[in-house]
Amino acid sequence: MTPQISPNFFASCSKNLEELLEREASTFGCEKTDRQTGGVSFSASYETCLEFLLHSRISSRIFMKITDFSIKSLNELYGKVKGYSWQSTFPLNQTFKIKTIFDSSAKRSFKNSILFSQKAKDGIVDHFREKTSKRPSVDTKNPDISFLIRVEETAEKKWKVIFYLDLCHMPLSQRGYRKNSGEAPLRENLAAGIIMLTDWDPKKDLFIDSMCGSGTLSIEAVLISAQIPPTFLKIKRFIENKDKPFSFLKHNWFNKNKSLKSYFYQRMESLYEDIENKTKSLSTKQFYASDWDNRVLNTARENFQKMNFENIIHLKKQNALKLPPPNNKQKGIIICNPPYGVRLGEEEKLKELYREYGENLKKNFKGFRAYIFTGNMNLRKQISLSTSKRIPLFNGTIECRLLKYDLY
């Protein structure tokens, strides 16, 4: 095995957001994009990749490809891993962990991803032991280095084993503004994806989140409107607290490249200053969020305050079934993520909520476009409106639909 010469990367995302992620990656100058289930692989310079990492709204994590090789069976894995030059990837004093994922064919053949990771771990440890007489330590909770192994079937009936290095530490979907959550919260990158799949125009449209919960959709809408990086709070911590929010800041490839390191530190400074100006320019009459539950309203308020958006997003206690538009002139979108009725017996109670919500849309929101994100196809039938678009998405393992209604 030989080290990868040109940087190649893989960005993961929620299922069915791959096309949106590929478009986003191309926008930032990533090349040779290849859409796969659960993400997009691409080539880019280190600078371009780091720029994409800071700005990607859809990515869950971004990984750098270290090496790849083929095996015919699990028995070959240990020797192939042990033969790679791991000292160029990380030093002996750093801890590491490995996670393995299989494509559908590999899953049927190997079955046990933990055993696969264990064999790979043994190869890395024994490489160091042979070269230095010492071994690196494994830390499954807070490692310095996190490897992802992706195993795919090849046309030659072999197995392609790809080693990736996690650049993120915490998932990019965890923006940092959400300490507490309402019931069944949306992941932040899924919320951003939902908004980007609508026809909302931030330059002229109102944004109304009628069942706001912890406020995730509203916050992501503000970030999109102001073109503020979703890593805003991580950038802030980096500058103000000298925190290191990304795992690549500990990696050899980054720290040994002085020009790249200098570029990144300067970029973080400029983004920090730019964000302050962008926040000040936001409209205070565009974003509206409401809910009926005092508990989740308090959570949303705390989250808005953490982002300094409390004066930008109008938050109020309001029953979504009787919600009026904020004014009679300006139109836009009204969006919600209502309960799905996952627990036994809940679905029957929610039929009335869906039905009355649809009636209120017809009555009060003519001229708007309504979007409902739901994981219950039976409940959405209670809305007596015709959908103009149905987009299949996943909230974790729950198959969902983003439904669009044009309200005439």
Confidence band for 214, pLDDT divided at 50, 70 and 90: very high
61-71 and 159-166 beta bridge pairing: antiparallel
Give the CATH number of the domain where residue 131 resides: 3.30.2130.30
179 within some domain: no
Residues 96 and 19 in one domain: yes
265 within some domain: no
Residues 149 and 88 in one domain: yes
More confident residue, 343 or 196: 196
Residues 99 and 222 in one domain: no
Q: How many domains, the chain? A: 2
302 within some domain: yes
Q: What are phi and psi of 374, to 5 degrees?
A: -140, 150
pLDDT at 6 over 70: no
pLDDT digits (tens, 9 = 90+) for 121-176: 999 999 999 999 999 999 999 999 999 999 999 888 899 999 999 999 999 999 99
At 183, the amino acid letter reads E
Averaged confidence pLDDT in the chain: 93
- At residue 344, the pLDDT reads 57
Strand partners, 291: 317
Residues 96 and 154 in one domain: yes
238 within some domain: no
**Which DSSP category does 138 fall into?**
B
331 within some domain: yes
Give the CATH number of the domain where residue 321 resides: 3.40.50.150
369-374 and 31-36 beta bridge pairing: unpaired
Q: How many CB atoms lie within 10 A of CB 94?
A: 16
Residue 106 CA from chain centroid, whole number:
25
- At residue 290, the pLDDT reads 97
The domain in which residue 99 lies consists of 8-166
271 within some domain: no
What is the rounded distance in angstroms from the CA atom of residue 345 to the CA atom of residue 201?
39
pLDDT digits (tens, 9 = 90+) for 317-334: 999 999 999 987 899 999
pLDDT at 239 over 50: yes
Residues 225 and 370 in one domain: yes
What is the rounded distance in angstroms from the CA atom of residue 62 to the CA atom of residue 40?
10
324 within some domain: yes
Residues 111 and 161 in one domain: yes
What is the rounded distance in angstroms from the CA atom of residue 221 to the CA atom of residue 333?
11
Residues 303 and 401 in one domain: yes
Residues 162 and 209 in one domain: no
